[in-house]
Chains A and B, each alone.
Chain A
Amino acid sequence: MSDAITITLNERRLSVSPDTTLYSLRAAHLPEADVLVLNGAPAQGDCTLSDGDEVALILRGRVPSEAELESLMAARHTPGVHKKLKAATVGIAGLGGLGSAIAIALARIGVGRLILVDFDVVEPSNLNRQQFFVDQLGMHKTDALVANLVRMNPYVTLEPHTVRLTPTNIAKIFSSVDVLVEAFDAADQKAMLLEQYGTAYSGRPMVMATGLAGHMPSNTILTRKMGGGLVIVGDLVTAAQPGTGLMAPRVGVAAHHQANAVLRILLGEDPAG
């Protein structure tokens, strides 16, 4: 094709003739598309495409197939990232403010399998920071989170456990994870999880969080590599207590520090460096 131009269509590079218009592209590739996005903005009408244009053709309400979604994700990630994430299993102990946000972040980037554990139900006081909806009040957090995650990425394997984690079940439930995320609320439970998982699976990565309450500056939340596979996120001092509650912004900062640490570990990178 002489003088062909190269555009990107739904994240795939495509050579087309220089007189190709947006509508002719749609007709050739996805005639039923009802939303056309050109270079990041909804198209206002037909136009002739230029070299380097990025086009997205969307059929409103249609869930992409697994292959399509994978292709889109692989295009968004740098090369090699998606394959590593898809092969990974991450366990999340606790699905509250930290755990629900971490699960969403990891599902969105395509981590292959998530083991989600919590015994609790969604309560009104949770809604200031936890990734649930008012119409999910009273639902088990496992059920509510699974319902939400499948709407974001239906192709992640989700393994929920609606149980309280104890020294007798931790090693078994998380036996197959590549990385364990600690997302509990109670301080003694955080320590218990480290002790049980850390002694059962010495050296296996574990990303914890401690000290994330209130609305202190975001930059006081740090990611620290402790050695032996342990990473600790937080300021290590600010406890949740009357007057210093847990709030979505700072909890979210900590949660995404944890999620990013998980991502870096899965990619073979220093989680804190």
Chain B
Amino acid sequence: MKIKVNLFGQLAHVANETTFTHETPERTALADVLREIARKNDPAFGQILFDDSGALRAAVMILVNDAPVDKLSPPKLSDGDSLTLIPAISGG
């Protein structure tokens, strides 16, 4: 399946692009899709997404088809879905 990936903030900066299409087998879990994307990029990309234990960082905001993802119960991805990744930044 083809997933349209949209990147913001430091992820876009490290990847040097804001949007691309990622191909992955049908029924690949969201977390695995993120790992696939991280492997294709500079190691800094993966460090923004995952902590040292390999867990998804709490500060990463994920939208699938513009809807916020419940990280404890992420949706199944389908062909043509959009995946938006926004690392939240401290300060307020």
A residues engaging B (CB < 8 A)? 94, 96-99, 182-188, 190-192, 194-195, 197-199, 202-203, 208-213, 226-228, 230, 232, 234, 236-241, 246, 251
Contact with A along B64-92 (1 / 0, CB 8 A): 01111111000000000000101111111
Is A213's CB under 8 angstroms from B91's CB? yes
Is B91's CB under 8 angstroms from A185's CB? yes
A186 and B59 CA atoms in complex are apart in Å by 9
Smallest CB separation, A164 vs chain B (Å): 15
B residues engaging A (CB < 8 A)? 8-10, 13, 57-61, 63, 65-71, 84, 86-92
Is A198's CB under 8 angstroms from B68's CB? yes
Is B9's CB under 8 angstroms from A237's CB? yes
A203 and B71 CA atoms in complex are apart in Å by 18
Assuming the A-B contacts A186-B90, A230-B63, A239-B91, are A191 and B84 also in contact, with contact meaning beta carbons closer than 8 angstroms in the complex? no
Residue in contact with A194 in the complex, picked from B10, B13, B57, B68, CB distance below 8 Å: B68
Assuming the A-B contacts A190-B61, A232-B86, are A227 and B66 also in contact, with contact meaning beta carbons closer than 8 angstroms in the complex? yes
Q: Taking chain B's interface residues, is the majority helix, strand, or loop, or is none over half, making it mixed?
A: loop
Smallest CB separation, B29 vs chain A (Å): 17
Least CB separation from A244: chain B residue: B91
Which residues does chain B contribute within 8 Å of A202, judged by CB atoms? 67
Smallest CB separation, A214 vs chain B (Å): 9
Is A210's CB under 8 angstroms from B86's CB? yes
Which residues does chain B contribute within 8 Å of A184, judged by CB atoms? 92
**Can you add 11 more A-B contacts, CB < 8 Å, to A195-B68, A210-B91?**
A183-B92, A186-B90, A187-B59, A187-B88, A199-B70, A212-B91, A230-B66, A234-B89, A236-B87, A237-B89, A238-B91
A226 and B68 CA atoms in complex are apart in Å by 11
Q: Taking chain A's interface residues, is the majority helix, strand, or loop, or is none over half, making it mixed?
A: mixed
Smallest CB separation, A172 vs chain B (Å): 17
Smallest CB separation, A166 vs chain B (Å): 13
A226 and B66 CA atoms in complex are apart in Å by 7
A186 and B90 CA atoms in complex are apart in Å by 5
Residue in contact with B90 in the complex, picked from A192, A203, A236, A241, CB distance below 8 Å: A241
Is A212's CB under 8 angstroms from B92's CB? yes
Is A226's CB under 8 angstroms from B89's CB? no
Smallest CB separation, A93 vs chain B (Å): 10
Residue in contact with B69 in the complex, picked from A195, A238, A240, A246, CB distance below 8 Å: A195
Which residues does chain A contribute within 8 Å of B68, judged by CB atoms? 194-195, 197-199, 228, 230
Is B92's CB under 8 angstroms from A96's CB? yes
A212 and B91 CA atoms in complex are apart in Å by 7
Is A210's CB under 8 angstroms from B66's CB? no
Is B84's CB under 8 angstroms from A226's CB? yes
Smallest CB separation, A262 vs chain B (Å): 15
A188 and B59 CA atoms in complex are apart in Å by 4
Which residues does chain B contribute within 8 Å of A234, judged by CB atoms? 89
Which residues does chain B contribute within 8 Å of A192, judged by CB atoms? 58
Least CB separation from A97: chain B residue: B92
Least CB separation from B84: chain A residue: A226
Is B13's CB under 8 angstroms from A237's CB? yes
Identify the 6 closest CB pairs spanning chains A and B, nearest first: A198-B68, A228-B66, A227-B66, A240-B91, A236-B9, A187-B59
